[in-house]
Amino acid sequence: MKPVNFGIDLGTTNSLIAKYDGGKVQVFKNSIGQKETLASVVAYRPQRVLVGDKAREYLTKDPVNVFGNFKRKMGTDEKYYVVNIDDNVTPIQLSALVLKELKNFVYTGETPQACVITIPASFDTMQSNATLKAGQEAGFKDIFLLQEPIAASLAFFNESSSSKKDGYWLVYDFGGGTFDVALVHATEQELKVIDHEGNNFLGGADFDFAIIETIIVPEIVRQTGITDFEDQLRVKYGKYEKLYYELAYYAEEAKKELSQTNSVVIDFTAEFSDKKYVFSIPITRQEIETLFLPIINETIGLLKKVMENNQLEPNDVNQIVLVGGSTLVPQVREQLSQQTTIPLNHSTDPTTAIVVGAAYYAANKYYDSPQIEQQVEEIASKIPSQIEQIKPDLKIKTSYNRSSRDKEEVLLVFCEGAYENKFLRVIRSDGGFDTGFVPLRAKKTEFLPLLPSVTNLFTLHVYDNNHEEIKTLTQKLSITHGKYTVGGQPLPHDITIEVDDVENKTTRLEAIFERNSLLPQKRTLYREISKTIKKGSKDALIINILEGDKNARPSSNLTIGCIKITGKDLATDLVKGSDIEIQLHITDSRILNTTVFLVMTQQEFKNVFSVSEKKISLDRLRDQYNQLESELTETIRQFQYNQDDVWEIQANALLEDLQSVKERLFKIKEGDKSDEKYIVAQKIMRVSQASDKLGGNERISMLVEEYFGQKERTREAISTSDFQREEMHKKIQKIEASETSFIRSKNVSFIENKIRQLHDLHWDALCNTTSFLITQYIQWRELPPEFYKDYSAAKSLIKMADGSLEKEQYADFRKQVFSLTHLMVITDHRFNKDFKGTGIG
Amino acid sequence: MINYIQIINQLFEIQTKVKESCTSANFERNFNRLFSLFEEEGYFVQDPTGEKYSETRTDCEASITGQLDSKLRITRTIKPIIYHRKDGDVRLLQKAVVIAENN
Contact B56 A53 (CB under 8 A): no
Closest residue to B78, CB basis, from A246, A433, A456: A246
Over 70: is that where the pLDDT of A165 sits?
Answer: yes
CA B51 – CA B48 distance, rounded (Å): 5
Q: Tell which of A41, A44, A54 to mutate to test the B interface (max B CBs under 10 Å).
A: A54
For A380, A648, B39, the CA distances from A375, given in Å and listed in that order, are: 8, 68, 47
Q: What was the pLDDT predicted at A388?
A: 44
Task: Please indicate whether residue A95 or residue A780 has the higher confidence score (pLDDT).
Answer: A95
Q: Tell which of A30, A437, A438, A454 to mutate to test the B interface (max B CBs under 10 Å).
A: A454
pLDDT, one tens digit per residue, over A222-231 is 999 998 898 8
Query: B75 touching A, CB under 8 A?
Result: yes
Closest residue to A451, CB basis, from B64, B70, B83: B83
pLDDT, one tens digit per residue, over A317-354 is 999 999 998 999 999 999 999 999 999 988 889 999 99
- Mean of pLDDT values over A609-628: 75
What is the full DSSP assignment across A196-220? EEEETT-STHHHHHHHIIIIIHHHH
Contact B92 A53 (CB under 8 A): no
| C-alpha A376: how far from chain center | 38
Cβ neighbours of A642 (radius 10 Å): 11
pLDDT, one tens digit per residue, over A97-147 is 999 999 989 988 788 999 999 998 888 888 899 999 999 999 999 999 998
Contact B63 A245 (CB under 8 A): yes
- Reduce the secondary structure of A2-41 to three states and give it as a string: EECCEEEEECCCEEEEEEEECCEEEECCCCCCCCCCEECE
Query: B6 touching A, CB under 8 A?
Result: no
- Reference A358, options A191, A203, A201; nearest CA is A191
For chain A, the first-to-last Cα distance in angstroms comes to 69
For A229, A240, A251, A266, A269, the CA distances from A226, given in Å and listed in that order, are: 5, 12, 21, 20, 16
Residues 6+ apart with CB under 8 A from A798: A781, A820
Query: B59 touching A, CB under 8 A?
Result: yes
Over 60: is that where the pLDDT of A312 sits?
Answer: yes
Q: What was the pLDDT predicted at A386?
A: 44
Closest residue to A246, CB basis, from B32, B58, B76: B76
Query: B73 touching A, CB under 8 A?
Result: no
Residues 6+ apart with CB under 8 A from A485: A401, A403, A404, A405, A518
What is the full DSSP assignment across A738-795? THHHHHHHT-HHHHHHHHHHHHHHHHHHHHT-HHHHHHHHHHHHT--GGGBSSHHHHH
Task: Please indicate whether residue A31 or residue A552 has the higher confidence score (pLDDT).
Answer: A552
Over 60: is that where the pLDDT of A390 sits?
Answer: no
Q: Nearest-CA distance from B89 to chain A in Å?
A: 8
- Mean of pLDDT values over A278-284: 93
Q: What was the pLDDT predicted at A266?
A: 92
Query: B7 touching A, CB under 8 A?
Result: no
Contact A246 B91 (CB under 8 A): no
- Reference A326, options A199, A156, A208; nearest CA is A208
For A280, A461, A621, A699, A756, the CA distances from A426, given in Å and listed in that order, are: 43, 6, 55, 50, 50
Over 90: is that where the pLDDT of A19 sits?
Answer: yes
Strand partners, A167: A186
- Reference A333, options A284, A302, A300, A294; nearest CA is A300
- Reduce the secondary structure of A390-428 to three states and give it as a string: HCCCEEEEEECCCEECCCEEEEEEEEEECCCCCEEEEEE
CA A780 – CA A410 distance, rounded (Å): 72
Q: How would residue A379 be classed by pLDDT, with cut points 50, 70 and 90? A: low
Q: What was the pLDDT predicted at A285?
A: 93
CB A252 within 8 A of CB A208: yes
For B7, B12, B45, the CA distances from B2, given in Å and listed in that order, are: 9, 17, 17
- What average pLDDT does the structure give for chain A? 86
CA A112 – CA A42 distance, rounded (Å): 22
Q: Tell which of B3, B65, B73, B77 to mutate to test the A interface (max A CBs under 10 Å).
A: B65
Residues 6+ apart with CB under 8 A from A34: A431, B92
Q: How would residue A693 be classed by pLDDT, with cut points 50, 70 and 90? A: confident
The alpha-carbon radius of gyration of chain B (Å, integer) is 15
CB A76 within 8 A of CB A57: no
Closest residue to B92, CB basis, from A45, A48, A431: A431
Q: What was the pLDDT predicted at A172?
A: 96
Residue of B nearest to A33 (CA): B92
Query: B23 touching A, CB under 8 A?
Result: no
- In chain A, what residues touch B68 (CB-CB under 8 Å)? 58, 61-62
Q: Tell which of B44, B56, B70 to mutate to test the A interface (max A CBs under 10 Å).
A: B56
Q: Nearest-CA distance from A242 to chain B in Å?
A: 6
Strand partners, A498: A509
Q: Nearest-CA distance from B36 to chain A in Å?
A: 9
Among positive and negative, which fits the CA dihedral A328, A334, A338, A344?
Answer: positive
Where are the strands (E) in A432-590, listed by range? 438-439, 443-449, 455-463, 475-481, 494-501, 506-513, 521-528, 540-548, 558-566, 579-586
Cβ neighbours of A124 (radius 10 Å): 11
- In chain A, what residues touch B29 (CB-CB under 8 Å)? 581, 597
CA B16 – CA B98 distance, rounded (Å): 13
Task: Please indicate whether residue A55 or residue A392 has the higher confidence score (pLDDT).
Answer: A55
- What's the one-letter identity of residue A828? D
Query: B32 touching A, CB under 8 A?
Result: yes
- In chain B, what residues touch A741 (CB-CB under 8 Å)? none
Closest residue to B58, CB basis, from A45, A54, A237: A54
- In chain B, what residues touch A43 (CB-CB under 8 Å)? 55
Residue of B nearest to A65 (CA): B68
- Mean of pLDDT values over A432-438: 93
What is the full DSSP assignment across A251-283? HHHHHHHHTTSSEEEEEEEEEETTEEEEEEEEE
- State how beta strands A48-51 and A41-45 pair: antiparallel
- In chain A, what residues touch B64 (CB-CB under 8 Å)? 57-58, 61
Q: Among A235-244, A342-351, A610-619, A732-741, whose mean pLDDT is lowest?
A: A610-619
Contact B58 A269 (CB under 8 A): no
CA A73 – CA A92 distance, rounded (Å): 9
- State how beta strands A6-10 and A114-119 pair: parallel
CA A456 – CA A518 distance, rounded (Å): 17
Q: Nearest-CA distance from A48 to chain B in Å?
A: 9
For A632, A637, A652, A662, A663, the CA distances from A659, given in Å and listed in that order, are: 11, 17, 10, 5, 8
- In chain A, what residues touch B17 (CB-CB under 8 Å)? 267, 269
Query: B87 touching A, CB under 8 A?
Result: no
CA A684 – CA A682 distance, rounded (Å): 6
Residue of B nearest to A51 (CA): B55
Q: What was the pLDDT predicted at A839?
A: 83
Query: B5 touching A, CB under 8 A?
Result: no
Phi-psi region of A520 (alpha: psi -120 to 50; beta: other; left: phi over 0): beta
What number of C-beta contacts closer than 8 Å exist between A and B? 95
CA angle at residue A655 from A652 to A660, to 5 degrees? 125
Contact B58 A32 (CB under 8 A): yes
Q: What was the pLDDT predicted at A549?
A: 84
Contact B59 A432 (CB under 8 A): yes
**A→B interface, C-beta within 8 Å:** 32-34, 43, 45-46, 48, 50, 53-55, 57-58, 61-62, 237, 241-242, 245-246, 248-249, 267, 269, 276, 429-436, 449, 451, 454-456, 524, 526, 581, 597
Domains plus CATH for chain A? 2-152+356-367 (3.30.420.40), 167-346 (3.30.420.40), 371-481 (2.60.40.10), 494-615 (2.60.34.10), 769-823 (no CATH)
Q: Nearest-CA distance from B8 to chain A in Å?
A: 16
Strand partners, B89: B86
CB A18 within 8 A of CB A30: no
Query: B29 touching A, CB under 8 A?
Result: yes
Query: B85 touching A, CB under 8 A?
Result: yes
Contact B99 A245 (CB under 8 A): yes
pLDDT, one tens digit per residue, over A456-510 is 999 999 998 888 888 889 999 998 887 554 455 677 788 999 998 877 777 888 8
CA angle at residue A437 from A433 to A438, to 5 degrees? 100
Closest residue to B58, CB basis, from A33, A62, A276: A33
3-state secondary structure of B81: strand
Q: What was the pLDDT predicted at A27?
A: 94
- In chain B, what residues touch A522 (CB-CB under 8 Å)? none
Closest residue to A241, CB basis, from B33, B61, B66: B66
CA A828 – CA A833 distance, rounded (Å): 9
3-state secondary structure of A673: coil
- In chain B, what residues touch A432 (CB-CB under 8 Å)? 57-59, 81, 83, 92
Contact B59 A431 (CB under 8 A): yes
For chain B, the first-to-last Cα distance in angstroms comes to 42
- Reference A622, options A657, A656, A663, A674; nearest CA is A663
- In chain A, what residues touch B67 (CB-CB under 8 Å)? 61, 237
The alpha-carbon radius of gyration of chain A (Å, integer) is 37
pLDDT, one tens digit per residue, over A633-645 is 988 998 888 888 8
CB B12 within 8 A of CB B80: yes
